[in-house]
Amino acid sequence: MGANLANEVAAENFCEATIGYKNIEHGKLLQSLFHTSYFRIAISSDCQTVELCGALKNVVAVGAGICDGLGYGGNTKAAIIRIGLKEMVTFAKEIFGGGHDATFLESCGVADLVTTCYGGRNRKVAEALAKTKKSIEELEAELLNGQKVQGPPTAIEVYKLLQSKGMVDRFPLFTTVYRICYEGLPPEDLLKHI
């Protein structure tokens, strides 16, 4: 997981990734296989948080894309990213009982979050959602050339889990992204609910 959009990796632009491991020898092996002068690989024993960051950042990117689609500026988008990071940390610690603070500062955490909120397909589709009011499925077909977004389906699973634990109100951004994508909440209401 990390700040490594495929086209930039292919162009050999400097980027990085974090590999979570349960067995350090496996982690070191994977690091040695993928680490290059332009692709820095870090390894982490906090593999659960590495994976959570990889999923949850896509939900935050939907919020960032909605901001872009509504024409909000950098301050608003930065606030969405900050709120999203805070919810990611809280989710990892309170729902899964773990998450080392340092993991969120690795490429799988804040770097991947920022990259995805500025350049990922979840942001792109959410921007179009806010502008056009078309469905996610229509926008995937029009904009992604066969790829799919991960933020909306992840938002469903996150919402179900939060609902089962009575914690929906503690995660306003995750909940609002879910409601915009699946319950018809207008994108213009994003800021009212966070």
* Catalytic residue numbers, as ranges: 57
- Contact in structure between 71 and 50 (CB atoms under 8 Å): no
The one-letter amino acid code at 153 reads P
Q: Of 47, 112, 102, which is closest to residue 81 (Cα–Cα)?
A: 112
Q: How many CA atoms lie within 13 A of 141 on its CB side?
A: 5
Half-sphere exposure of 173 (CA within 13 A, CB side): 26
* CA distance linking residue 41 with residue 25, whole number of Å: 15
Q: Residue 84: which of 107, 106, 114 has the closest Cα?
A: 114
